[in-house]
Structure 1
Amino acid sequence: MSQHLADDLPGGTGGGRLRVWLKASAYTRRLLLGSGGDPWVSAPQYLAYFSQAQGLLRPDVAVVEVGEMFDSWLSRHPEVVAELGSKRRLSFPLRKLLEQDEPRQILAEVVEAVIANLRGQTPLVLAMPSPKHWLRHANALAGRVGVELDPDGIEDAAMYMADLMRSVSAYPVGGVLLEEHPTDSDMEATDVERYRPLINVAKHYRWSLALRPRGAAPASPALAEFDAVISPIIRVPKPASSGVDVGAVLWHGGSLPVLDQGQFYFVEIPAEQQPELVLESLAWLRA
C-alpha cells in the first residue's frame, strides 16, 4: 500500500491493490469506546482510538471522519451553536462552523498524528459530507428545518470546505471522500458542478477525490474529476475506479458481485453489528 490513494486504486495508474474500503467509525467507536464514546476530545485521545481501530480491522484505507469531528466539537460548545443561525444567509451556518480555530487545530493535529502512525503504508482519506450535504446539515444544526438549497449556496459551501482543506495542505493526505446524504437520491448535474472550488483545491494538492452519491450518477462533466465513485449501482469508465457498495448484500446474506477490472468493494459497518460477523464478512471480502 501507498500513502497516496491514487496509487492503490484499481484501474488507474497505480498498482490497484485496494480491494476493500471500510466505513467503520460508528462501529469501532461503539465497540472500543462504548455507546456515546467520543474520541475527538484531543488529538492524543483520537490517535489512541484510531490505533486500536486500525489493529482491529486492518483496513486498506485509513479514514478520518471530518464531519464527525466538527459535530463532536460543536456538542461541547453550545455558544457556537447559538451563533450558527444569527444571519439569514443560507451558507452562513456552515461558514460559521468551519471558520472556528479550535476544531481546525484539532483536525491538523489529528492528521499529523495519524500520518505519522501510518508510516506511509496506508493512504489517509479525509471523509466529509459533500458541500450539499454539509450545507443542509449545518442549517439543521442552526434550527432551520426544511430549507431549500440553491446552487449559489452549494458553491459557497464548497468554497468554505476548500478553505478548510487548505488548513491541512502541509500534510501528505492521500485523498478526500465526499459523501452525499443517505436520503438524497436526487443529485443533479449542477450540484457536482458547484463543488468545483473544492475539486480544484484537491487537484492542486494532488489529492485523490472520491464521491459517494446515493442515487443515479448525475450527467456532469465534473464527475470526470473524481478518481473513484462509490455506489451500489454506478459504474464509472476508466481510468476512474468504481467502489461497489456491497453493504446491503453483505449484512443481509446476499451473494457478493464479482469484481471487474477497476473495481473495489466498499462496506459501511453498522454500529451495532456483531464483531464475529464483521470479522467473518471481512475475511470473505478479502478472500
Structure 2
Amino acid sequence: MTTSTATTLANVVASPPTGRPKAVVFDHHEYAASVILRGGPVPWDNPTAYAAFFAQAQGLLRPDVALLELNRLYGHQTAGNTGLETEMAARSRTGFALRTLLANDDLNLAVLDFVTVFAKTARQPVVLRIPSPMVWLTGTHHFSGAEHSSDLDADNAENASMYVSDWLRAFAGLPIAGLLLDNRTPAGAARSVHVPLEAYTPITNLASNYRWTLGQLDDDRMRLQGDPAVGAYIPARFWLEPDVALPAGDFYLGELPSAASPEGVLARLETLG
C-alpha cells in the first residue's frame, strides 16, 4: 500500500510555506506548556484537546510544519505500566524489549488514535519525530538485564529498524509529510555507535513507498535522505539573549526553552523572517 500527502518535508525545505527565507521546524512543547498551559497538565489523554493546545502554539510561532514528538507520547502512555515492563523483560534477547513495546496492541491503538486526530486537524504539513532505532534500542536495552548498552552495535540497530518499520505501517493512511529519526545523544549519556540513515533499510524503503521525506537528527546537524540541504540547530540561548546569532544552515530546527519570555520569542522570530 502506498499513500501520499499534498506536500513533503523536502518540499517545505525547498519552499517554506510561511514565506521565510529558510524553513523552520519548532519543537515548542516545553515553551507552550509553560506559556499556554501555565504549568498545568498536558492533555495527552485527550487527542482533541492536545490538538487544540498544539494549534494555539503553532499560531503564536508560525513554524513551517507541525512537529509531533512521539517519544513524549510514549513516555506518558507507558509511565507506571508495570505489566508492559514485565512483558518487555520476559526475554534477555537483544531487541526483545523494543519489539514487545512496539507490538503492544493497547498502546498501539491509543497512539494511532492520537496521531490520527493530530494529523487530520493540523494546519501545517505533519512531521513525526521518533527515536532512531539505535536510540530506541539503547533506551530499552536495560529490560534485557544488561547493565549497560556498550555491547550494542550497528547490526543490532539495523535489526531493530525492522520492528520500527513494521510499527510505522499503522500510519500509512495518514497525511504525513516527513519522518525524523532522532539520533542525538541523550543528555548525560555516552555517545553510542553511529548508524547512518541509509543503514535502516526497512525504514528507508517504507518512507519511500509512502512518499514521506525521511531525515535523521545527529548531534551536529540534521539531514534529509536524498537531499543536499543541511539542517542546523537553533541554540537555546538564541531565544534567551538578543545578541546570539543563527548558525549556518539551509533550514532550522529550534527547541524553545520553557524559560523564554513571549516578548523575547516574538522579537527573535522576527530575525527568522
Per the normalisation by structure 1, the TM-score is 0.79
Contact 2:7 2:125 in 1 (8 A): yes
- Check 1:153–1:258 CA distance in 2 against 1; reply closer, same or farther (3 A cut): closer
User: How much has 1:36 moved relative to structure 2?
Assistant: 6.9
- Which segment drifts farther, 107-116 or 59-68? 107-116
Q: Does structure 1 residue 241 correspond to structure 2 residue 229?
A: yes
SS at match of 1:167: helix
Contact 2:182 2:217 in 1 (8 A): yes
User: How much has 1:18 moved relative to structure 2?
Assistant: 5.1
Residue 54 (structure 1) aligns with: 58
- Structure 1: runs of 5+ lacking an equivalent: 218-222, 228-238
Structure 2 CA distance for aligned equivalents of residues 146 and 55 of structure 1: 43
Structure 2 residue identity aligned to 1:270: P
1:158-169 equivalence runs, <5 A: 158-169=161-172
SS at match of 2:231: strand
Q: Deviations over 1:29-84 (max 9, x none)?
A: 33333447233213223223222222232211101111111111001523212332
1:1-287 equivalence runs, <5 A: 3-10=7-14, 19-35=23-39, 37-119=41-123, 122-140=124-142, 144-148=146-150, 149-183=152-186, 187-188=193-194, 190-215=195-220, 226-227=225-226, 239-248=227-236, 250-251=238-239, 253-257=243-247, 263-286=250-273
- Check 1:206–1:34 CA distance in 2 against 1; reply closer, same or farther (3 A cut): same
Contact 2:92 2:143 in 1 (8 A): no
Contact 2:232 2:251 in 1 (8 A): yes
Structure 2 residue identity aligned to 1:71: G
Structure 2 residue identity aligned to 1:269: L
Per the normalisation by structure 2, the TM-score is 0.82
Structure 2 CA distance for aligned equivalents of residues 197 and 91 of structure 1: 16
- Check 1:187–1:281 CA distance in 2 against 1; reply closer, same or farther (3 A cut): farther
- Check 1:285–1:146 CA distance in 2 against 1; reply closer, same or farther (3 A cut): same
User: How much has 1:112 moved relative to structure 2?
Assistant: 2.5
Structure 2 residue identity aligned to 1:163: D
Contact 2:154 2:193 in 1 (8 A): no
Structure 1 residue identity aligned to 2:225: F
User: How much has 1:216 moved relative to structure 2?
Assistant: 7.8
Contact 1:10 1:16 in 2 (8 A): no
- Structure 2: runs of 5+ lacking an equivalent: 1-5
- The share of aligned pairs that are identical, in percent, is 31
User: How much has 1:274 moved relative to structure 2?
Assistant: 2.5
Structure 1 residue identity aligned to 2:258: A
Structure 1 CA distance for aligned equivalents of residues 66 and 74 of structure 2: 19
Aligned residues: 260
Contact 2:197 2:216 in 1 (8 A): no
